[in-house]
């Protein structure tokens, strides 16, 4: 049976201390645990990832959610940093302001719009427990073959607990942000994932970040892409705004719009019309991006010419454009594939509604294919397909096009669908090709 005789160990330490003078054992703080008082918040980022300790001392605003998501409430808010240690019952018991129907999630109506002060960052308790259990298990295994019945039961219990808390790799990325709700002074723990790739799932807006963006944007003049302006309504009168490609807008305020709950600038034209610009703050790989400062716009005009820059603002691409111009105009492609055509290789940029083509090693657009083009037009750009297949469709919604023709390329991974001789869809079987360039 294992016995850790701590009394004997302590006596040994004290005996040595009496001979050689006082010996003091000090717990040394590891680099991971150390939080310097000189850590400053990087106010240019709302989600800090692994730099979570920068949040200490900051103020959080709990942002709203799209209407369809509100019924699910908020996840990750608890009354203790040890919640969920043994199962669902703990989640139910320790959820902060639980929803009436989904008790493991917090009520949307009770939390939305609340302000929280960040007090400290706490290591996830599963990490500490797992490491302790592993150390105990290793100690027991050193007596393998000599264990008593009590040791065997202890090993079984440890293994059972290790399975419950999964693995330390998962929980080492997680921690709790200890918060104080400013209205009630309630102490709340938010479970935070340091390595989350989905930063838009972070439910808070850091007040310092919001204020920094206001400081940077208000008073600045911008040229805004047409797709962010067209269809906009004046926020005061509700009238439609007439936009002229390349016109100048001035940022007069920053707000959170109440539909998608994005941070959006309020911009004003020379006539005094004010609109909210959605999607101004680009999400990497999703949105093309926001506006151009006057300096940036002038630089692009000088680099590409006025006509080309107007096309970029209008979201157009044409043969002869560079890769940089295409990215600015319609964003990064979903994926990139190489097509062999005659004795040369073509670089194919694939979007959900169009394809662009470049000679391998060349940055100039040599052709494009988009929905609505005829088969002859596509043939000129794509060349002869590897395979053509006719597919008959049935059902009410397919009556307009009961039969489609499918052209296959790239070892039949890329295919174009024609309805009545017109390109109606572009599909990719699998996205295992070269990643889009930045």
Domain boundary assignment for the chain: 47-207, 218-296, 317-428
Six token digits for residue 328: 């600015």
For residues 412 and 47, give the distance between their C-alpha atoms in angstroms, rounded to a whole number.
41
**In 10 A of CB 264, how many CB atoms?**
21
User: Strand, coil or helix: what is 318?
Assistant: coil
| Whole-number pLDDT of residue 206 | 96
Helix 306-313 / helix 323-330 crossing angle, nearest 10 deg: 40
**In 10 A of CB 107, how many CB atoms?**
20
| Whole-number pLDDT of residue 252 | 95
* DSSP-derived secondary structure for 156-215: HHHHHHHHHT--HHHHHTEEEEEEEETTT--EEEEEEETT-S-GGG--EEEHHHHHHHHH
* DSSP-derived secondary structure for 72-120: G-B-SEESSTTTTSSSHHHHHHHBSSB-SS-TTSB-HHHHTT-EEEEEE
For residues 347 and 365, give the distance between their C-alpha atoms in angstroms, rounded to a whole number.
10
| Whole-number pLDDT of residue 144 | 60
Per-residue pLDDT of the chain (438 residues; tens, 9 = 90+): 444 444 433 333 333 344 344 555 544 444 444 444 456 787 888 999 889 999 999 999 999 999 889 999 999 999 986 544 444 455 567 899 999 888 889 999 999 999 999 999 987 766 555 555 566 666 666 656 656 666 677 667 666 665 555 444 445 678 899 999 999 999 999 999 888 877 778 999 999 999 999 999 999 999 999 988 888 899 999 999 888 999 999 999 999 988 889 899 999 999 999 999 887 875 333 334 578 999 999 999 999 999 999 999 999 998 899 999 999 999 889 888 887 766 778 888 988 888 898 888 788 888 888 888 888 888 877 778 888 888 876 654 445 677 888 888 776 667 788 888 888 887 765 433 344 444
* Predicted model pTM: 0.68
Six token digits for residue 178: 């200890």
For residues 249 and 266, give the distance between their C-alpha atoms in angstroms, rounded to a whole number.
10
Six token digits for residue 216: 């940077």
Q: Can you give the C-alpha Rg of the chain in angstroms? A: 30
Q: Are 191 and 176 in contact (CB under 8 A)?
A: yes
User: Strand, coil or helix: what is 277?
Assistant: coil
- By the 10 Å C-beta count (0-12 exposed, 13-18 middle, 19+ buried), 105 is classed as buried
| Whole-number pLDDT of residue 326 | 93
Number of C-alpha atoms within 13 angstroms, CB side, residue 135? 6
């Amino acid at each position: 049976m294992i016995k850790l005789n701590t009394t004997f160990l302590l006596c040994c330490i004290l005996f040595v201390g009496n001979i050689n003078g006082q010996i003091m054992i000090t717990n040394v703080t590891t680099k991971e645990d150390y939080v310097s008082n000189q850590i400053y918040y990087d106010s240019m980022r709302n989600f800090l990832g692994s730099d979570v300790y920068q949040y200490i001392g900051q103020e959080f605003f709990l942002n709203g959610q799209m209407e369809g998501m509100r019924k699910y409430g908020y996840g990750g808010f608890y009354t203790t940093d040890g919640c969920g240690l043994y199962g669902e019952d703990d989640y139910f018991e320790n959820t902060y302001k639980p929803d009436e129907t989904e008790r493991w999630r917090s009520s949307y109506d009770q939390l939305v719009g609340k302000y929280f002060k960040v007090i400290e960052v706490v290591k996830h308790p599963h990490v500490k427990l797992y490491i302790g259990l592993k150390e105990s298990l290793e100690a027991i295994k050193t007596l393998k073959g000599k264990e008593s019945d009590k040791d065997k039961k202890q090993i079984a219990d440890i293994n059972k607990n290790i399975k419950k808390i999964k693995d330390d790799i998962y929980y080492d990325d997680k921690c709790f942000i200890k918060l104080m709700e400013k209205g009630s002074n309630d102490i709340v723990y938010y479970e935070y994932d340091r390595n989350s790739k989905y930063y838009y799932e972070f439910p808070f807006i850091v007040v310092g970040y919001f204020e920094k963006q206001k400081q940077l944007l208000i008073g600045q003049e911008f040229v805004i892409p047409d797709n962010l302006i067209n269809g906009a309504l004046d926020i005061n009168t509700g009238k439609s705004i007439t936009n002229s490609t390349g016109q100048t807008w001035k940022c007069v305020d920053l707000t959170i719009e109440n539909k998608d709950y994005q941070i959006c600038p309020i911009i004003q034209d020379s006539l005094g019309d004010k609109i909210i610009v959605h999607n101004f703050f680009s999400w990497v790989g999703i949105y093309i991006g926001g506006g151009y400062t006057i300096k940036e716009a002038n630089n692009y005009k000088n680099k590409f010419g006025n006509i080309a820059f107007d096309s970029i603002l209008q979201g157009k691409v044409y043969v002869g454009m560079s890769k940089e111009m295409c990215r600015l105009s319609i964003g990064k492609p979903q994926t990139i594939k190489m097509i062999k055509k005659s004795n040369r290789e073509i670089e194919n940029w694939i979007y959900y509604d169009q394809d662009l083509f470049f000679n391998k090693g060349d940055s100039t657009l040599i052709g494009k294919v988009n929905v609505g083009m005829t088969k002859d037009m596509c043939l000129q750009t794509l060349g002869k397909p590897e395979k053509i297949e006719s597919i008959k469709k049935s059902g009410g919604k397919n009556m307009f096009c009961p039969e489609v023709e499918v052209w296959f390329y790239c070892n039949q991974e890329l295919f174009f669908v024609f309805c009545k001789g017109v390109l109606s869809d572009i599909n990719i079987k699998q996205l295992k090709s070269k990643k889009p360039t930045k």
